[in-house]
Chains A and B, each alone.
Chain A
Amino acid sequence: MDDLLKALPGLLEGLGVTLYLSIPAFLLAMVLGSMMAIFRVSRVRSLEVLGTLYVEGVRNSPLLLILLLLVFGLPDVGILLPLELAVIIGLGLYSGTFVCEAVRSGINGVDVGMVEAARASGLTTRHVISEVLLPVALRTMIPPLATVFITTVLSSALAAAVGVTELTGATRVYNLVAAQPFVAFGIAAAGYLLINLLIGWASAKSERLLRFNQ
């Protein structure tokens, strides 16, 4: 118990690092994934190919391998990223593929008639996308995107393998001293659960707020 109290600041710091990694990573994934999704439905051949290459290339590589390439591979070509940044980029690249698929199916799920109405009213393609397509698609995307966010948080545990002491890493440190695996990993699980419940709650809330028929 004493050990636990002593370890608590370290564990909380780990929780903070987990957030510090996964929130920017998810934001990066959102930007990248949405862009690639638009590429994939653009009907512009070269952009479609780019989007497909990205999704198939990154999604089919293990995340750990991506992280190792960024951490240990890039320095050999002269790029030394700070560990946290490398993890954020790797995680963002990886989650971006899932964002891309969620956004793409959201876009494909949008009623074609509505998009035609927007085009018929004289809106340019850019405005059709930003004013009609994405806002409508976004609402159907909230639950799958929340799932991607949760997966991002959980995947950030791999950062512990490349030198970043986030929640899982902090838990290991505690366990190494205290030899209390069940307590230690119980605490870590509770930490992840807490974050993910928050995400789930926010997702449900925003879904309710954005419902159409009010």
Chain B
Amino acid sequence: MNYSRRKFFVTSSTAAAAFVLAGCRGINPERLGGQADGFANVDQSGVVAQGPIGKNLPSSPILDEVRGRGFLRCSGTDTLPGFSQTNPVTGKLAGFDAGMAELFAKYLLGKPAVNFVKSGADTREAFLQNRTVDATISTYTITENRERIVNFAGPYLTVTSGVAVQLGETGIASSADLAGREVAVQPGAAEEALLREVPNAVPVRFEESSQCFAALQQQRVEAWVANTAIITSRAGTDSRTTVTDIRFGESPFGIGLPKGDDTYKTVATEFINTIAEDGTWQKLWDETAGLVDRTTNPEPPAIPMGR
């Protein structure tokens, strides 16, 4: 009784607050975490259904454990449209990374059984190190520092960063012009790419790409940097922002794996090469990130064995 009353208060007061604000001039609910980008309808299940199943896979500590368990524990985010975000209709994670995870599970187990563990950029290494998960597939850039504590298979995709600005902005013509300016980024790959390219840009970090976009629209920041697929999914779809021609940086995304099981890493590498060769990779791209980003056209990877 008491509890439900409290709950009533929660919902009613929260709703009331939102309502008051909304009533004033029509607030855009997506700013608060919703989505209304070109990725709303992403669904990779068709591609996954036709994905390959690994043959004669070897035995290794982690592979045996995953087989014994019957599903793959994989960490990622749900804030990256086109890569890994909850589809509002199906309620399932949709996108390129989400599809990679399902394909990987299917390759290992014969069925796309994935237990998704949400993790931000902070906890990716920790989750792998303490074996909370078997793999991390979340626009996880391969770097030297990280390779000291986790294994990477890949890169399975290399993206470049793009820059969105307010319509009519003339001061930002090259990446160097971002120096000293406040730039919205999501923590993780985009932030890394920005700081590698323009060390003295001032990153303003938001969890969600929708928030980065809102910050740009509301002129809190002068630019928004994200990978080209994410940038083109939103910027320029309104009357206030536009995507520039600026491209920089190469972010090689790898599948993060726990250190110590090199057989497992080899199998993951074979998985990437397999889906690249049989066309699954291209189909996945076309059904997910490629739906909106028609300019990037990334090449399927070909990873030399032994990497």
Write the residues of chain A forming the contact surface with B, with a CB cutoff of 8 angstroms: 3, 56-58, 60-62, 65-66, 68-69, 72-78, 80, 83, 160-163, 165, 169, 171-173, 175-182, 184-185
Contact = CB atoms under 8 A, between A and B. Distances in A.
Interface of B: 6, 9-10, 13-14, 16-18, 21, 24-28, 31-33, 120-123, 125-126, 129, 143, 145-146, 148-150, 184, 187-188, 191-192, 203-207, 211, 214-215, 218-220
Nearest to B218: A75
Contacts of B218: 72, 75, 80
Given A57-B17, A76-B25, A80-B220, 7 more contacts: A65-B14, A68-B33, A74-B21, A75-B220, A80-B219, A163-B204, A172-B205
Given A60-B10, A73-B18, A176 B24 contact: no
A153 B188 CA distance: 25
Contacts, number: 110
8 contacts: A3-B145, A57-B16, A58-B13, A75-B214, A83-B204, A172-B205, A179-B150, A185-B122
A60 B24 contact: no
B205 A165 contact: yes
A164 to B, nearest CB: 8
A80 B220 CA distance: 8
A72 B28 CA distance: 9
A58 B13 CA distance: 8
A99 B120 CA distance: 32
Contacts of A181: 122-123, 125-126, 129
A146 B113 CA distance: 48
Helix, strand, loop or mixed for chain A's interface? helix
A178 to B, nearest CB: 6
Contacts of A58: 13
Contacts of B9: 56-57, 60
B121 A176 contact: yes
Contacts of A69: 17-18, 21, 32
Contacts of B31: 68, 72-73, 76
B141 to A, nearest CB: 9
A56 B6 CA distance: 9
Contacts of B149: 179
Contacts of A80: 218-220
Contacts of A61: 10, 13-14, 17
B189 to A, nearest CB: 9
B148 A179 contact: yes
A27 to B, nearest CB: 23
B17 A163 contact: no
Given A73-B18, A73-B21, A77-B21, A172 B32 contact: no
